[in-house]
Structure formats: structure tokens, C-alpha cells
Structure 1
Amino acid sequence: MGERKVLNKYFPPDFDPAKLPKGKRPDNNMMKVRMMLPMSIRCSTCGTYMYKGTKFNTRKEDVEGENYLGIQVFRFYFRCSACAAEMTMKTDPENADYTVEKGASRNYEPWREKDRDKAEAVAAREEEERGNAMKALENRTLDSKREMDIMNALDEMKSLKSRQEKVDSEALLAALQRSADDDRAALAAEDEAAVRAMLQQQCTYVKRLEDDGSAGPQSVPGAAADDKADMSAQQSEPPSTARPAKPARKLPFTVVRAKRKAEPPEADGSAEGVLAKKQQAENGGGTAPRAEPVNPQPAKEDSDEGAVGLGGLAAYGTESD
């Protein structure tokens, strides 16, 4: 095992500290001390930031000819942690602070400026109230009013907090749900009203065939008269003798074609009938000659096709019955 070092030393009974030889000190009382930065600074050489609480081995000396009310001012020498540039700072016993002397700059501290402004305002108020009793009374009145306003605000905040503590979370959630449902219902009603207004606006631009005056199947006079006659016959017929209407039978294409050829063009609502009516009106009401097609096809009434068509009609009638 290694030797154990003893930190305590033996002092004999006849030891006299006054007999010790005095050490030689420099004129400015310089010594090495270890200390921490009392503020945040920035090196002027390399721009490195050193924060409050950084430890340094410094050299302390007395500043010749500088004191405040008998308090000696000290100077500290230390180096930058990045570039090893030398920096110095001094004590400021008047403001209970430190001042950077060279080699660095002190960072901005907003609380220091706030404290300085507060101290300046207090000093200005004392100077203003000195020898002016009315001004001092006004200032005290304003201070009491400000305190009363602060107390009222505190009481209001306390009452609001007490009311909020009594609120049930479930009731609060239910109220929020009701408000959300009301908002959704209001939005749905607004959307429905907007859709209705849009549809009404679109319906105003729809044109009916009767208003337009264009010729069509609805504007044929003969068809309208036939419809009116059928409606009057149905109304005049007693309900007891009314017979159920039979389903319409579908005729073959050949029979329908022969029937259309036999009927005059005025009975049909086609373009040929409309053209014939127009020619009749231009001729003064007389019957205008019927316009023949360019390539007329003779009707084959006695041919085998007609017989086949009649036979097909008979067969169709029996199947439909």
C-alpha cells in the first residue's frame, strides 16, 4: 500500500507566528485567484461568447488611486477560452457590479435597463415632490387608486376561478355538443335555402313549347279536338255502363305503313301534314295538291306481302288475346 499523506501539520508549543519572516509582495498587491465570470461577455478578438459562471484562473491587483468611500477597486486579468486573448474587468462598488475594461464587451441585459429606468423614475418623482405638497398628495391618490383597481381585478379573477371549479365536465361537453348540433342545423338550412333559390332561378329560364310557338305534336288542332272529345265522352258516360279499356294491340309494321299511306297527311302531326296545312292556308282554304315523293314506291296491296301482313295481324291478335 502507498503512503498516506497527512494534511495536518504539527505546531510545537513554543511556536510564534510573529517570528516568521515576512514574504515580499509587489507594490500593487497582485495575486493569483480562481473566480467565475459575474456576467456574460463576448470576446472582441474572436467573437466567442462566454457565459455567466465560467471559471477562470485570474490575476487580481489593486487599482492605484481608485476607491469609493474607502472601498478599494480591484482589477482582474483573464484570457479568452477560444483564442487566449487577454481581457480585463474592474469592480464597481458604487453600483455593486462589475465593468468590462478592455478585450471584451458585455452582453445586453434587459433587466438591468429595467432596474435603471425604475430607479430613475423614483428619483424624478422624489425631485418633483420635494417642496410641493399638492403634487405629493396627487401622487399618493393615484397610487391608492391603482392599488384599488389591482385588488378589484384580483377579486374578479378569484370569483371566475371559483365558478370554473364548480363546472361539471360532462355538462360542459354536453353544452358544446348542443352548440355544434345547432351550428350544423343552421348550415343545413342555409344550404337548403341556397339550393332552392338556385333551382327557382334555373326554372325561370325554361321555355315551354306552347309559349315558344313552334309547331309540334302538341300544337296540332285536330289532335287537341280529338282529346277533348274523348274526355267529354268519358265524362258523359255513366260509371255503371263504363267498360274497362282493353290493352292496345301492337300492329305489324306493314299494316301500320299501309294505314299511314291511306290516311291524308293532315291527320298526322308529321312534317308533311304541317307543310300541307301551310300550303292550304296560302291557297285560301282550298285543298292543295299533295306533294308526291321523288321516288314513290307503289303500294303492294294484292301482293303476297300484304297477305302475309294480314296473316301476321291475325296471328298477332290471337296471341295477344
Structure 2
Amino acid sequence: MSERKVLNKYYPPDFDPAKIPKLKLPKDRQYVVRLMAPFNMRCKTCGEYIYKGKKFNARKETVMNELYMGLPIFRFYIKCTRCLAEITFKTDPENTDYAMEHGATRNFQAEKLLEEEEKKITKDREEEELNNPMKVLENRTRDSKMEMEVLENLQELKELNQRQASVDFEGMLGTYKELEQREKEREKEDDERETQEMLERALVKRLRDSDSDSDQESESSSRPKKPSTDRPTDILTTDRLADTQGLSVRGVKKAKVESWERSVGGLGGGGALGTLVVRKKPATSVPIPDTTVTPAGSNTQTVSKAAAIVPTEATKPITAQNGSSSLSLLGAYSDSDDSNNSE
């Protein structure tokens, strides 16, 4: 097992290397090598993009009849990863780069083209200055002018940087924060003042309303109260008092007729009917009015009739023993007055 690891092998004394047969191979023989794409390219067949650094199993061969300063040039064959189309490129030792041959187009050649253009301009300028001394002077003058412009621009940039360096950004930020804080405090004070003014106006209005209410109450209390005539028989009591004070019989009759019309007209209403109809009380004796004829002009019969018909506060019979109502009594009373007047 250890023999396979030895570095030196045994050659017998009669070994002659010239007797070993040589293997004859063609000069354009191809070898399979593993390489990476040297630049970005795009396949012409399917348009697939192949980025720089992608690995391929490529075939390598030596380009016949092409040398650069004794250095051979190699060609590589790869296949597209999508359509398996063949793409070839070769080495370019003159520019230390690779050159695309066919099957794809190289991408992002702007930098390379710019460098080639600069090299071409420099070469043409050197050739022109070699044969024309005036051209050399013009080129030097142009170069010196360009250098002065570059120096001026550089000086301006330095001054600008110095001005910006002298600015205190921290101080500016602090001042801005102070101004912002003052503005917020001022707005807060304004809001508080407006709120206070609104509260004061509301308080004044409330005081005014309370004063007006108290004035109205005092006026209402100072006004005299009118006597209420809720009961229909109150006016009859008033008429009786007027008769006792010596009023004429005709005026008493007119007041009685008006009271009768007022009471009859109120029968249709629920409120007036509710005041007339009361709960039935035990039957009481009703005095029979005196029908004796007295001389005209005497008030004795009228007063006695009024006293017999109009009930007092102590005795208010609504229905008599024989079932007659207060309205029938009032009607009989009015009829009796008419008969007395006719006599």
C-alpha cells in the first residue's frame, strides 16, 4: 500500500527513453476544460442573458496561424443554457481581455469603448505634435487653462466647505425648538383666555335670566287676585245680595236670564257638566215658595223667593224628594218671576 505514495520510481539500468513510442496528436486538438464566462453576454438565438462568472464545461482549442508576440491564442466553445446554441470567444492578449466571435453579443461595453477611444485620441495627438511644433504650444496652453479652471473650482469647493463647517447646526436646532415651544405656549394661553371669556359670558347671562325671573315673580305677586267664579250658582248669590241692597226687579231679572243662558249653554261641555253633576246626597226638605200676591214694588216677595230657590253653602240639594232637578227649580223660578211681572 505504501508503494503508491512514493515520489521516485525505479528505472532499470537498461532503460532507454528514445525507445518509447511517441503519441502523434493533431495540433488543433480540443480539450474539455471548466471555465467561467469572462463577461456578460446575450444569446442571439433565444435572447437568454448569460451573466459574468457563470460556469461552463467548455472545449478549448489553439487558434492556428495567430500569435501575439509569440503567445498562442485560444478559442473556447460553450453552449447556451436555454437553447443549447454554440457560442465561441477567444483570448485577446493585446488588450488583456476576451473577444467575442459568434453566437452572442457582449453587453456593457461602454467602459471598454471609452478606454479605446481615449487611447486612440492620445495616439493621434502624439503623432500630430511630433510633426507640428505650433500644435504642441496650443495643446500646452489649453492644458494650462484647464488646470487653472480646475484649481478655481477646487478653491470654491474648499471655501464652501469652510462656510458650512462654521455653521452651528446644533445651535440652529436649539433655537428652532425654543421658538416652537414659545408658539405652543402662546396658543395654549390663547385657548385658556377664550375659555375663560366664554365662562364669564355664560355666568353673566345666567345672572340676567335669574334677575328677570325674580322680577316677573314679584310683579305677579303684587298683582291683585281676581275672584274666581268656578261655580254656576255664585252669580245667583251675587244677584240675591244685590236685591237685598235695594236694586230694581228688572235688573235682577236680566241678570238671572243671563245666568240661565250661561248655565244652559255649558251643558254640552264635559267640564261644565262635571261641575253641575255631583254625587247624590240624602234627600232633604225643600221649602215651598210662597205664592201669595203682594203689591207691586215691594221687595219682600222677591227676597223670599230668592231665599227659597237659591241654596246656601250649608244646604245645596241637587234633587228634591219628588225627583225634580236644580235646573227645573231654576225654570220654575224664572216662570214665577215672569208671572209676577205680568200681574
Q: TM-score, normalised by structure 2?
A: 0.45
**Between Structure 1 and Structure 2, which shows a larger proportion of helix residues?**
2
